[in-house]
């Protein structure tokens, strides 16, 4: 399992790491392409922008792709993996190391949710939503809110079904009650 850098959101909320750990508990592969979970200073709960994507390729492979002039370094980062593999048959999936960023508006979540449990669940839910956008774009070349909201609902169903296990795994949350409206609003 690849390490995801969440220092920016940890600096805003010292329990943000629990949300990342919760997402990994839910789906250990969901953050595989996400190298950074960054701050989103205002607006929505979260943001995924393909403009933040980075692809790391072996140096010789990258040179050969850029040499033919069909893409430049910036395009290479924003072209979905599926498309790269179609147009460059010499590439193998293992040659591409994604290093993508998603953003979470931790300040807004801290303002809108009162308990640590609800805050952590909302941060985790936002991470699931944005990571789903990234995964879907890389595999299909497009993304939709429908799929991301469905992933959030599935995550919240899982939280509801595993509440006791979650509280046991994270002692910091053991004595806190989840607000049923927070979980229910996603279902």
pLDDT at 112 over 70: yes
97 — phi, psi (to 5°)? -110, 105
Q: Is residue 80 part of a domain?
A: no
Question: DSSP alpha helices (H): ranges in 27-144?
Answer: 59-67, 73-78, 81-87, 106-112, 116-140
Looking at the whole model, is its pTM more than 0.85?
A: yes
- CATH code for the domain of 131: 3.30.2010
Q: Is residue 132 part of a domain?
A: yes
pLDDT tens across 24-55, in order? 999 999 999 999 999 999 999 999 988 888 88
Q: Is residue 109 part of a domain?
A: yes
pLDDT band at 130 (very low <50, low <70, confident <90, very high): very high
Which domain does 159 fall in, by range?
7-54+99-184
pLDDT band at 172 (very low <50, low <70, confident <90, very high): confident
pLDDT band at 19 (very low <50, low <70, confident <90, very high): very high
Q: What integer pLDDT is reported at residue 184 of this predicted model?
A: 52
Total domains in the chain come to: 1
């Amino acid at each position: 399992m690849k390490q995801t850098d969440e220092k920016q959101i940890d600096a805003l909320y010292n329990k943000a790491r629990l949300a990342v750990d919760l997402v990994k508990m839910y789906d250990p592969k969901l953050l595989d392409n996400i190298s950074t979970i960054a701050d989103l200073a205002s607006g929505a709960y979260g943001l995924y922008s393909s403009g933040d994507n980075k692809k790391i390729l072996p140096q010789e492979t990258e040179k050969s792709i850029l040499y033919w002039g069909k893409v430049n370094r910036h395009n290479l980062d924003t072209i979905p993996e599926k498309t790269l593999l179609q147009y460059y048959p010499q590439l193998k999936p293992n040659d591409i190391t994604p290093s993508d960023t998603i953003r979470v508006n931790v300040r807004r979540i801290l303002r809108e949710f009162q308990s640590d449990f609800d805050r952590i669940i909302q941060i985790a839910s936002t991470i699931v939503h944005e990571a789903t956008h990234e995964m879907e774009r890389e595999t299909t070349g497009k993304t939709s809110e429908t799929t991301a909201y469905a992933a959030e609902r599935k995550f919240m169903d899982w939280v509801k079904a595993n509440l006791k296990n979650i509280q046991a795994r994270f002692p910091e949350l053991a004595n806190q009650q989840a607000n049923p409206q927070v979980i229910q609003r996603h279902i």
